[in-house]
Every structure is written in C-alpha cells, then in structure tokens.
Amino acid sequence: MADEVKKKVVEPPGPGDAQLWRMGVEDERINWSRRQFFVKLGTASIAVAGLGTVVFAYQFLSPNVLYEPSLVVNAGKPQGYPPDSVTLDVANRIYIVHSTEGFYALDAVCTHLGCVTAWKPEQHIIACPCHGSKFNPDGTKIEGPAPKPLPWKRVWVSDEGNLMVDRGADVAVRQYVRV
C-alpha cells in the first residue's frame, strides 16, 4: 500500500522563481503535493499570527495616554532665586541654579539608580542619599557610582516672565539663560 505511493522529491525553490511564476513559466522543481502545500500555508499563517500577537501585545502594553504630571515646569519668577543659589524643587525633581553666568536647571534624579539627590550648601555639593554619589553644582560627578553627570534641562523665560523648565529635554552643558 505505502510502496505504491511515489514520494516526490521536493527541492527548495531557488532565487528567481517568483519572476518565472509571474511570467507564467512553469518551474518543475516546485512540485508540492496538496498536503504539503496546505501544511506550508498553515505554518506560514501561524507564523504571521504569532508575529501579529507579539506586535499586538507590545502595543497594548504601551500606554498611549499617560496621566502623569507635565514634563514642562513653571519655576516661577527669576527674582525668587537669589544669586549664587541652588534650589531643589522636590516635587518636580529639578534644581534651579542661579549662577554668575545665568540660570540653568539640573535634573535632581541621580543617574545611578533614580533616587532624588539633595543640595548640601555647607559643602557646596549635590549628594545622593542612596549610594553616596556626589556632584558639583554644574552636574559633573565628584565621586560615587553614578555613571553620568546630572543632565542639564532646557530653560527659557515665558511671556509672563516666568522661568520654564522642560524636564523632557536635555541640553548641552553650559547653556545659561540670562534674565
């Protein structure tokens, strides 16, 4: 019974088969039985569905609307910050620094593992309470496990004359805002 069934040797299609098929040229190397064709079709369908599931899951798990506080912070009037001062805004996790060159804003979140740092005026440094990283007021690291300096954030003055900080935008260091 089984001996009577002649097995056809199937060779994988080479390059150029698609063009031949479009030209209507019959390629004798593609010689799939009906069963083989449906197995391939089924396997391909499952693969496509699996890929779709992965994309679907990734998109579903990524929220499109976030109910988080705005990344743009109104830091108030520049006159509120005395010269040569470093002010920590704990709620927004930024430092407003009024240096001799002008204003700038630093991210107060430690680049090591995300703790909020603190300004130590007596030592004139920014210190992280979690793992002991220390930074200069310009964000450069003095010591500790932090891999990167504290990034500078974009600062501008709004039409109402308020200092605005975009926590979502890093800028190159030494970009001071003069008021």
Partner 1 sequence: MANKIQSYWDRLRASRVWSSVFRSGPGGSRLHDALAVQQNVFLHLFSVKARKRLLGFSATWYLGALTFAAFLILVITGVLLMLYYHPSVPQAYNDMKDLQFVVSSGVFLRNLHRWSAHAMVLLVFAHMCKVFYRGAYRPPREFNWVIGVILLLITLLLSYTGYLLPWDQLAFWAVTVGSNIASAVPIAGKHIRFLLLGGNQVNANALLRFYVLHCVILPIVATFFIAIHFWRIRKDGGLYAPPPNVVADDIQPKSAAASEGTLR
- 30 or 127: whose CB is closer to partner 1? 127
Minimum distance of partner 1 from residue 86's CB (angstroms):
23
Q: What is the 3-state secondary structure (H, E, C) of the chain?
A: CCCCCCCCCCCCCCCCHHHHHHCCCCCCCCCCCHHHHHHHHHHHHHHHHHHHHHHHHHHHHCCCCCCCCCCEEEEECHHHCCCCEEEEECCCCEEEEECCCCEEEEECECCCCCCECEEECCCCEEECCCCCCEECCCCCEEECCCCCCCCEEEEEECCCCCEEEEEEEEECCCCCECC
- 12 or 63: whose CB is closer to partner 1? 63
Interface mask (CB under 8 A) for partner 1, residues 115-144, using x and -? x--------------x--------------
Minimum distance of partner 1 from residue 115's CB (angstroms):
7
Residues 93-112 that bind partner 1 (CB under 8 A): 112
- 68 or 122: whose CB is closer to partner 1? 68
Q: Does 113 bind partner 1 (CB under 8 A)?
A: yes
| Residue range at the interface with partner 1 (CB under 8 A); choices 81-89, 113-121, 154-162, 169-177 | 113-121
Among 14, 50, 80, 114, binds partner 1 (CB under 8 A): 114
| Residues 177 and 155 sit within 8 Å (Cβ to Cβ) | yes
Interface mask (CB under 8 A) for partner 1, residues 42-81, using x and -? ----------------x--xxx--xxx-------------
Q: How many residues does the chain have?
A: 179
Work out the burial of residue 152: count CB atoms within 10 Å of its CB; fewer than 13 is exposed, 13-18 middle, 19 or more buried: buried
Minimum distance of partner 1 from residue 58's CB (angstroms):
8
Give the interface with partner 1 as residue ranges (CB under 8 A): 58, 61-63, 66-68, 112-115, 130
